[in-house]
Amino acid sequence: MTVVSNRNYSSFGSAELEAKTHGNTDDALVIRFRKLLLEEVDLAELSKLDANQRRARLERVIAHLVTREGVVLSTSERNGLIRRVVDESVGLGVLEPLLADPSISEIMINGPETVYVERRGRVERVNATFSSNDQLLQTIDRIVSTVNRRVDESSPMADARLPADSRMPRGARVNVVLPPLALNGPTVTIRLFPKAFSLEQLIGFKSIDRDTAGLLALCVEARLNMIVSGGTGSGKTTFLNVLSSFIPGAERIVTIEDAAELSLDQEHTIRLETRPANVEGKGQITIRDLVRNSLRMRPDRIIVGECRGGEALDMLQAMNTGHEGSLTTVHANSPDDALSRLETLASMSDVVIPFTAIRDQVNSAIDIIVQLNRTLDGSRRVTQVAFVLSRRQEEFEIVPIMRWDPERRNEDGTTGAFLRYPLPEKLIHRLRLVQMQPPTDWTVTA
Ligand SMILES: Nc1ncnc2c1ncn2[C@@H]1O[C@H](COP(=O)(O)OP(=O)(O)O)[C@@H](O)[C@H]1O
Ligand SMILES: [Mg+2]
């Protein structure tokens, strides 16, 4: 992973970045030069320039002002000061380095002085602070105004999806709650969308091996229903995106998500996203509403970002009635657990159906479960691919097709290997039904 390079950090070393994140530059100087800058230049005028040009122009002006005012600073202090003044005048200030950091998945601002981030699944406090409440409000305004939204005293809550742009390299979902509703001060939660990794990258990270990926690609093409299972941050969405890339380009795909994180390359893709209730508690559109609606949109495939409620039942029904080849993710620790979880979620639906009928739906719908795990060193891996054998109302019976064995010693001295198991007859049959040849080189290693 690399830090997105179309930003202007290149001319600054990490020490400056560090100083900026940690707010070491003298706040009084920043405020003083920001004020001077605003007296000297018309920001509205500059808004016609693109972000990089505007930044370069402002940097020159501030450098000039610093010299004119006779402030004595070291080169790095001077650069840090210039950068902060520009950031606070046009950019997202202390948030910029956080937004550019690929290891951060969430930024949580609890008032001007408290900023937390989630990094590799862990929440930690960072030293970044805003110089005042006003500055934080101004930053919020800059964030939401890109999507023509406003938050102020009269409408103190906002939830918006931000497209990727020069300031937000990955796109994000942002939620804002202002006082008097938020007692900590302006509160902002920014969920940064994961960078879409390609299959080649996942193979490069040893998250999956090429043969298993090839088999899964066949299964997607053959319209088997699949679920990706894993814990929070185990890479489910990322893997779902890769699985989706195996869908043939001629098919009509409808994706349904709480926050549109998936980025499919297929042209014929319809992206749907839920909407939270407004301040009066009205107008909510749930995953479930969208799944039901999508059935009327003539989809070839339905992809649901995550099943975590009653929509599981609708999803199972869709998978069983002509929308084979649909994909979703579920929060579970093993393939077995994933099936039970789907069963539980489906029973949360407002449609009352007997338990045995739900079991039947799960058994008929789900063909393949891809289990992901996050390891202690922060890497993510497909730890199992399992096939569902059980039918109708039988107890769940699943067999592994591939399993990661962390202890296996390899010839080259490394440990850990993807072990292959015999392909179940039923799977081979499913592939042959659609004139697809099961892989002949699936040499069993377990
Ligand atoms: N195979 C992988 N290797 C390394 N990092 C990954 C991998 N898959 C996902 N990630 C990263 O892990 C974080 C969580 O991924 P995400 O797909 O959102 O997980 P989930 O949907 O399970 O919460 C993201 O920052 C993402 O870029
Ligand atoms: Mg996810």
Q: Please report, for the domain that includes residue 316, its CATH number.
A: 3.40.50.300
Pocket perturbation via mutation, ligand 1, pick of 380, 382, 404 by most ligand atoms within 8 A of CB: 380
Nearest ligand, measured from the Cα of 106:
1
Closest-CA residue, ligand 1 atom 13, reads: 233
- With a CB cutoff of 8 Å and minimum separation 6, the contacts of 386 are 335, 368, 369, 371, 398, 399, 400, 401
- For residues 358 and 246, membership in a common domain is answered with yes
Distance 415 CA to ligand 1 centre (A): 23
Per the structure, the complete domain to which residue 111 belongs is given by 99-193
Asked which of 176, 193, 210 is the last residue of a domain, the reply is 193
- For residues 285 and 311, membership in a common domain is answered with yes
- For residues 215 and 350, membership in a common domain is answered with yes
- What is the mean pLDDT of each successive set of 10 residues along the chain, which is 446 residues long? 32 36 64 84 68 81 91 90 78 82 92 93 90 88 78 86 74 92 94 88 95 96 97 93 96 93 92 83 91 95 95 94 94 97 93 92 97 88 98 96 94 93 96 92 88
User: Which pLDDT score is estimated for 25?
Assistant: 61
- For residues 288 and 321, membership in a common domain is answered with yes
Distance 259 CA to ligand 2 centre (A): 9
User: Which pLDDT score is estimated for 8?
Assistant: 32
Closest-CA residue, ligand 1 atom 9, reads: 235
Distance 322 CA to ligand 2 centre (A): 26
Asked which of 193, 208, 230 is the last residue of a domain, the reply is 193
How far apart are alpha carbons 195 and 199 in whole angstroms? Answer: 13
Closest-CA residue, ligand 1 atom 27, reads: 194
User: Which atom of ligand 1 has the smallest separation from the CA of 234?
Assistant: 22
Q: How many CB atoms lie within 10 A of CB 126?
A: 20
User: Which pLDDT score is estimated for 10?
Assistant: 30
- For residues 105 and 63, membership in a common domain is answered with no
Asked which of 73, 90, 107 is the last residue of a domain, the reply is 90
- For residues 151 and 76, membership in a common domain is answered with no
| CATH assignment at residue 132 | 3.30.450.370
Distance 165 CA to ligand 1 centre (A): 21
Distance 358 CA to ligand 2 centre (A): 25
Distance 442 CA to ligand 2 centre (A): 30
Nearest ligand, measured from the Cα of 104:
1
User: Which atom of ligand 1 has the smallest separation from the CA of 306?
Assistant: 21
User: Which pLDDT score is estimated for 44?
Assistant: 62
Distance 306 CA to ligand 2 centre (A): 7
- For residues 138 and 225, membership in a common domain is answered with no
- For residues 25 and 69, membership in a common domain is answered with yes
- Asked whether residue 440 is domain-assigned, the answer is no
User: Which pLDDT score is estimated for 351?
Assistant: 86
- Asked whether residue 278 is domain-assigned, the answer is yes
User: Which pLDDT score is estimated for 345?
Assistant: 95
- Asked whether residue 57 is domain-assigned, the answer is yes
User: Which atom of ligand 1 has the smallest separation from the CA of 230?
Assistant: 22
The answer to whether residues 343 and 319 touch, using CB atoms and an 8 Å cutoff, is no
The answer to whether residues 441 and 211 touch, using CB atoms and an 8 Å cutoff, is yes
| Number of domains the chain is built from | 3
Distance 295 CA to ligand 2 centre (A): 23
- Asked whether residue 442 is domain-assigned, the answer is no
Pocket perturbation via mutation, ligand 1, pick of 228, 238, 303 by most ligand atoms within 8 A of CB: 238
Nearest ligand, measured from the Cα of 380:
1
- Asked whether residue 443 is domain-assigned, the answer is no
User: Which pLDDT score is estimated for 302?
Assistant: 97
- For residues 317 and 226, membership in a common domain is answered with yes
How far apart are alpha carbons 414 and 432 in whole angstroms? Answer: 37
- For residues 310 and 359, membership in a common domain is answered with yes
- Asked whether residue 255 is domain-assigned, the answer is yes
User: Which atom of ligand 1 has the smallest separation from the CA of 208?
Assistant: 1
- For residues 116 and 181, membership in a common domain is answered with yes
- Asked whether residue 441 is domain-assigned, the answer is no
- For residues 211 and 268, membership in a common domain is answered with yes
User: Which pLDDT score is estimated for 422?
Assistant: 96
Closest-CA residue, ligand 1 atom 14, reads: 233
Q: How many CB atoms lie within 10 A of CB 50?
A: 9
Pocket of ligand 1 (CB under 6 A): 105, 194-195, 197, 202, 205, 207, 230, 232-238, 379-380
- Asked whether residue 445 is domain-assigned, the answer is no
